Chain A
Amino acid sequence: MENWIIKSFDQLLPIEWYKIATLRSDTFIVEQDSAYHEFDSCDQVSDHIFLMKNDDVVAYARLIPNSYFYDEASIGRVIVKSSERGNGYAKALMEQSILHMFKKMNEPSIKIQAEAYLEKFYGTFGFESVSEKYFDCDIEHVDMLLKRRED
């Protein structure tokens, strides 16, 4: 069983933040060739979920409370390190993130700005598309919504 860590921004150690920042920069700036504001005002208000392996952050997402990115809560910056893909970490990352947001953050719904090529992947967790496809930073996106089941 992997050891997923979830911390508020203030709980992060500087070295943990540095490893997260490196992974985010490597993935969203370099790999996706997008010169954009990777670090923004959502970082301080979010919870950060990550998986450590051999002293390295290999999977990550930020869990944004409602009213910051969207009116609804949101999961963003979803990453599995390139060398660690194909191990099922993305599925575990999403499951852990959704669980935390519904149970611990007590959010009634989660809206994500999904990269369009991952629409089917997010659909497997129950997310449904709620917008047309559109381009943001030259990458095709679609907004998707997941509501907490009251059971």
Chain B
Amino acid sequence: MKWHLKTFNQLNLQELYTILKLRVDVFVVEQNCAYPEVDGVDVECLHLFATEGEKIVAYSRLITGEEADHVSIGRIVVHPEHRQKRYGIELVKQSIEVVESKFPNRYQKVHAQVYLLAFYRSFGFKEVTEHYLEDGIWHVDMIRQKA
């Protein structure tokens, strides 16, 4: 498994295509949620992904420009054919490490799907909102400060 961190402009066409397809296949189709998956925000994001051979097996995007005090980690996804291999854990760890090394003065934020509450807690994320429905899926905002 090889990790890559790229700005939008550093992504080549095939990488961008594969990332968007993975996101739509998981967040739209698998989660049965017809929402604006390709939302225009990507141009301003850092894109973190793991490859095995030519395949992208895990992905997240880091929204760095929205607010100055934190970085949002979003679209956290492991390819359906590569689940149950703890790639999700590695992905969140890598995402946190990137933020801590590139933005040492910012905390990390996730708009977590509620069923993953315990998963994100295990990395030190804490809930900062009530549970709320977004696009028909229960969410909770969580933040993580450096220990």
Contacts and interface: CB of A to CB of B under 8 A. Distances in A.
B35 interface: yes
Contacts of A38: 24, 28
B11 A14 contact: yes
Interface size class of B (residues with CB under 8 A): 20 to 34
Nearest to B31: A35
A65 B40 CA distance: 30
B34 A39 contact: no
B16 interface: yes
B128 interface: no
A33 B13 contact: no
Interface stretch (A15-23, A86-94, A102-110, A114-122): A15-23
Contacts, number: 66
A18 B38 contact: yes
A26 interface: yes
Contacts of B31: 35
Interface residues of A, number: 25
B16 A14 contact: yes
A35 B13 contact: no
Interface in A13-53: 13-15, 17-18, 21-22, 24-26, 29-30, 32-39, 43-44
B33 interface: yes
Given A17-B16, A35-B28, A29 B37 contact: yes
A30 B36 contact: yes
A14 B24 contact: no
Given A37-B29, A39-B24, A29 B17 contact: no
A17 B17 contact: yes
Given A13-B13, A34-B34, A38-B28, 19 more contacts: A12-B13, A14-B11, A14-B13, A17-B16, A18-B16, A18-B20, A18-B38, A21-B20, A24-B38, A25-B24, A29-B36, A29-B37, A30-B36, A35-B29, A35-B32, A36-B28, A36-B29, A39-B21, A39-B24
Interface of A: 9-10, 12-15, 17-18, 21-22, 24-26, 29-30, 32-39, 43-44
**Which 3 residue pairs of A and B lie closest in terms of their CB atoms, listed nearest first?**
A25-B38, A39-B21, A22-B38
